C-alpha cells in the first residue's frame, strides 16, 4: 500500500508541473497564442517574433534561434525571454511545440477554398462525415463489449483530455440519468486521489484527442494498476500511448487533411450517443 501511495504522489506532482507551465492555456493552440501576440502593439519586438514564427508555421518550416534572431534583429536571449513569458521553458521547447502542431494540423489547406465550389464542398463534407461515421460503426463489437460491461460492472470513471472534456462530461451525465454510477472529476489536480476509489470491478474510460495529453497518460497508468476494464477512446496519433486496455475505439477521419475540432467533436458525440442509445 505504501508503494501505491508513492506512485500516486509522483503522478500528482507531475500533474502539477504539467498544468502550471502554460498558465491554464494548454487547450489554446500555439497558432492562436502567436496570433494574439502578433497583434500586441505594446511590444513590437515580441510581435515581430510571433509573426516570424507564424510564417514558419504556415510554410511548415522549423525555425532556429539564430535565424529568428537575425530576422527580427534581436539577441537570442530575447527569444528565451519571449518563450518563458508565454509559458515555455525556453525557445527550444516552443519550437518543438510548433513542429508538433504543424504536423498535426494542415494549415496550408485552410484558406484555399474557391467560393464557386461551395455546393461541391458541402457534398464533400457530408461524404467525409458519412465515411468517418462508417469507421466508427466498424468498431461496433468493441462498443457492444463496453455496453455489456456498463450493465455488469460496478462504477464508471472517466478521464478526459481538454478538447473532449465537455462531451465526456455530457456522456457521463447521461449515464447518470440512466441510473448508472458514473463519475468524472472536473478538478483535474485531485484526479490522482480520486482514482484511488477505482476497483477491479469498475470501468475506467480514457478519452484522448489533440495535443498536451501527458496528464491523461499519467492517470491511465494509475488506472492500469487498479482494473483491467479500461476502454480507450482516441485518435490514431494517440493510440501508441495506451498499450494496456480492454478495448480501444479509434475516432478517425476518412481524409486526414480535414482535421477540424468541430468535426472531431461531432464524431465523438456520435460515438457516445450510440453507446447511450443502445444501453
Gap between the Cα atoms of 188 and 90, Å rounded:
26
Q: How far is CA 221 from CA 3, 11, 206, 216, in A?
A: 14, 9, 11, 9
Residue 26: its pLDDT value, please?
42
Pairing outcome for strands 203-208 and 156-160: parallel
CA distance 174 to 224: 25
pLDDT of residue 259: 58
What is the rounded distance in angstroms from the CA atom of residue 45 to the CA atom of residue 87? Answer: 18
Instruction: Give the up-direction half-sphere exposure of residue 223: CA atoms within 13 A in the CB hemisphere.
Output: 28
The reported pLDDT for the residue numbered 251 is 92
- C-alpha 137/C-alpha 271 separation (Å) is 9
What is the reported pLDDT for 7?
47
91/34 Cα distance (integer angstroms): 13
How far is residue 214's CA from residue 200's CA, in Å, rounded to a whole number? 24
3-state secondary structure 151-200: HHCCCEEEEECCCCHHHHHHHHHHHHHCCCCEEECCCHHHHHHHHHHCCC
pLDDT along the chain (279 residues), means of 10: 44 44 48 80 88 85 89 91 86 83 56 50 76 93 95 92 90 95 84 86 92 83 93 90 93 68 90 95
Backbone φ and ψ for 37, nearest 5 degrees, come out as -65, -35
State the pTM of this model.
0.63
Distance CA 125, CA 178 (A): 34
Half-sphere exposure of 138 (CA within 13 A, CB side): 10
Region of 160 on the Ramachandran plot (φ > 0 left; ψ -120 to 50 alpha; else beta):
beta
pLDDT of residue 57: 81
Cα–Cα distance, 125 to 38 (Å, whole number): 32
Locate cell 466508427: which residue?
136
Q: What is the pLDDT of residue 2?
A: 36
Cell of 140: 461496433
Amino acid at each position: 500500500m505504501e508503494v501505491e501511495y508513492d506512485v500516486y504522489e509522483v503522478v500528482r506532482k507531475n500533474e502539477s508541473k504539467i498544468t502550471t507551465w502554460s498558465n491554464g492555456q494548454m487547450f489554446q493552440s500555439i497558432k492562436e497564442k502567436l496570433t494574439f501576440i502578433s497583434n500586441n502593439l505594446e511590444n513590437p519586438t515580441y510581435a515581430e517574433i510571433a509573426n516570424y514564427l507564424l510564417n514558419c508555421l504556415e510554410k511548415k518550416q522549423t525555425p532556429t534561434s539564430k535565424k529568428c534572431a537575425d530576422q527580427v534583429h534581436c539577441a537570442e536571449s530575447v527569444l528565451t525571454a519571449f518563450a518563458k513569458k508565454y509559458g515555455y521553458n525556453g525557445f527550444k521547447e516552443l519550437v518543438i511545440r510548433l513542429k508538433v502542431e504543424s504536423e498535426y494540423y494542415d494549415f496550408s489547406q485552410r484558406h484555399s477554398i474557391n467560393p464557386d465550389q461551395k455546393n461541391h464542398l458541402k457534398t464533400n463534407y457530408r461524404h467525409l462525415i458519412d465515411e468517418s461515421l462508417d469507421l466508427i460503426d466498424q468498431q461496433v463489437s468493441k462498443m457492444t463489449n463496453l455496453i455489456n460491461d456498463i450493465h455488469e460492472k460496478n462504477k464508471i470513471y472517466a478521464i478526459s483530455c481538454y478538447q473532449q472534456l465537455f462531451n465526456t462530461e455530457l456522456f457521463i451525465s447521461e449515464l447518470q440519468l440512466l441510473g448508472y454510477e458514473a463519475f468524472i472529476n472536473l478538478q483535474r489536480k485531485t484526479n490522482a486521489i480520486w482514482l484511488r476509489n477505482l476497483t477491479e470491478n469498475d470501468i475506467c474510460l480514457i478519452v484522448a484527442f489533440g495535443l498536451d495529453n501527458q496528464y491523461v497518460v499519467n492517470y491511465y497508468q494509475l488506472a492500469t494498476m487498479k482494473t483491467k476494464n479500461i476502454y480507450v477512446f482516441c485518435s490514431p496519433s494517440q493510440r501508441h500511448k495506451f498499450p494496456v486496455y480492454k478495448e480501444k475505439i479509434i475516432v478517425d477521419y476518412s481524409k486526414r487533411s480535414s482535421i477540424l475540432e468541430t468535426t472531431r467533436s461531432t464524431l465523438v458525440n456520435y460515438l457516445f450517443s450510440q453507446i447511450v442509445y443502445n444501453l
